[in-house]
Structure 1
């Protein structure tokens, strides 16, 4: 869910890509949900959680996971995209939890008042799409019930999936791609409506939102060689996105290298390379309302 250029995105066409990414990251998401349960009262039991919000829910992978981790709760997927919300409904029905999963079309920060109250709020890679990140956290903190928990997944480490020298193009491609992503991210932030420069000290920001920080944890996402075919396909789709997004800032040699990596018929493409892997880390910051 993003207030930035949403009208230019064909979310329906991105459902499969977003779902695949979430499924590749699901081991970390399960571990994060376990940790969130342990931060709640009653010796870590989540029986008292009646309503959970997944803000920026995408295709519903995390929404359904939260519904399984909080079995007494109604979990509401919040997103600005109707196609993504429709997919969430279908996914929940397929998993037999449709009766406990709802959807709400909303955008940040305009629709914060429509979220209602909740015992747990989860938001992943969404707040950085809002110009005033502190105001977004203030609004999310404001929907929490007494004792409620806010979990914000932001930051970590960029993914690595190739060795330094892959035998085609100049060595160090991965590092150059990551540097280009950082620059493009800064440009995106600067172009957001109402963009505010912010030192991204997330625990301090949560404290300024009136919450009591309860810790930050970084979760490793690791898929080793030989890669599962779905992880390989995720890498291929990811690199296609890299080519579309960063093609104008990469030099001709790097563009040609990425194009070869995404070619499904190239023997040294990511679908076939024996040295391809996936390693990343995601950080989750948590805070609670005083009971």
Structure 2
């Protein structure tokens, strides 16, 4: 989901991002998460039979949509996003994987539209609510689309990716910690400017309960790609650092700015495309809750 007004973060899909690279890094976690959701819903045969319609809200290029379609083979999946370009990518991805008959796309932009997406047995949404001014209202709208017994799975925050040692041999040690701090400040400032922004303690199980659901567990999934990284992951990090420099360049001191520029040098052995010490480590937390009462 890419709302018109949003609190931008370096992990968000945006012009210049590489959704295919993100897919390579996150596909394993998404498959593992989908299997966990199936287990939460009950014994495998009963769970797969009960889940007939899935919404992937904020689908981007459809990575989670395809993963969910494979784990729930009897379900139709609707990829939902604001971006028509990303929805087109989702259709291509589904066709390439033989899933185009089971995955459709639908454009939606505002939280009040979530409840009009049609009834669903399972709703997956990743990094959507944090970009909306009233996160509690967004959860309420998502919950309103659930059938009785249906599950909402919300992937929000977790731990920011780490990919460099504390001392990388150039610039001042601790570069990534300073970059993470600058990104968090920018995100907080962006949230403060969102239309209808409402401050809320981001206790996701509590927020889901306030939306009329019964929390059914949270789990954190690790994305762990040790050094030496493959080329796809290196290209992803190069894109990430380029976007970071574009967005934060003026907020970095001279030494850190020059260090990031060195990391972006495609011909230097100290660059992210060649460094033997580059890795990728991230954690994504998924919160779940179910609708355990009939809708009025």
TM-score (norm 2): 0.93
**1:67 has 2:55 as partner:** no
Q: Is it true that 1:22 corresponds to 2:23 in the alignment?
A: yes
Alignment partner, residue 80 of structure 1: 82
Separation (CA, whole Å) in 1 of partners of 2:250 and 2:287: 34
Other-structure match for 2:208: 206
In the alignment, is the contact (CA less than 8 A) between 1:12 and 1:83 conserved in 2? Answer: no
- What secondary structure does 2:111 align onto? coil
Task: Report if the CA contact (8 A) 1:157-1:282 is conserved.
Answer: yes
Separation of aligned partners in 2, 1:197 and 1:148: 28
- For 1:20-169, what aligned pairs fall within 5 Å after superposition? 20-42=21-43, 45-169=47-171
Q: SS in structure 2 opposite 1:66?
A: helix
Q: Deviations over 1:131-150 (max 9, x none)?
A: 00000000101100011000
Give the distance between the partners of 1:270 and 1:119, measured in 2 at CA.
Answer: 43
Q: Residue 253 of structure 1 aligns with which residue?
A: 255
Q: Which residue of 2 aligns with 1:182?
A: 184
State the distance in 1 between where 2:183 and 2:26 align: 20
Post-superposition Cα deviations, 1:130-177, rounded to whole Å, max 9, x if no partner, equal: 100000000101100011000000021111100011011111001001
SS at structure 2 position matched to 1:241: helix
Q: Distance in 2 between the 1:45 and 1:75 partners?
A: 15
Tell me the distance in 1 between the aligned counterparts of 2:152 and 2:175: 37
Q: CA–CA distance in 2 between the matches of 1:272 and 1:62?
A: 30
2-structure distance, mates of 1:113, 1:27 = 30
SS in 2 for 1:46: helix
Partner of 1:280: 282
**In 2: Cα distance, 1:219 partner to 1:250 partner:** 31
What is aligned with 2:172? 170
| Structure 2 CA distance for partners of 1:76 and 1:211, relative to 1, 3 Å | same
Per the TM alignment, residue 12 of structure 1 is displaced from its structure 2 partner at its CA by 8.4
Mapped partners of 1:100, 1:12: distance in 2: 27
Q: CA deviation at 1:42?
A: 4.3
Aligned alpha-carbon RMSD (Å): 1.6
Q: What are the superposed Cα offsets for residues 18-68 of structure 1, whole Å, 9 maximum, x if unpaired? A: 231132011111111111001113456322211000000001111111111
Uncovered stretches (5+) of structure 1, i.e. residues with no partner: none
Whole-angstrom distance in 1 between the partners of 2:201 and 2:246: 30
Displacement, 1:13? 4.5
Q: Distance in 2 between matches of 1:42 and 1:166?
A: 48
- The answer as to whether partners of 1:2 and 1:130 remain within 8 angstroms in 2 is no
Partner in structure 1 of residue 265 of structure 2: 263
> Offset of 1:266 from its aligned partner?
1.5
8 Å contact from structure 1 (residues 12, 84) kept in 2: no
The count of residues paired between Structure 1 and Structure 2 equals 287
Which residue is equivalent to 1:289?
A: 291
- The answer to whether the Cα contact below 8 Å between 2:5 and 2:195 also exists between their aligned partners in 1 is no
Secondary structure at the counterpart of residue 167 of structure 2 = coil
> Is contact 1:58–1:79 with CA below 8 Å preserved after alignment?
yes
Q: Secondary structure at the match of 1:98?
A: coil
> Which deviates the most, 43-52 or 21-30?
43-52
- Conservation of the 8 A alpha-carbon contact between 2:115 and 2:144: no
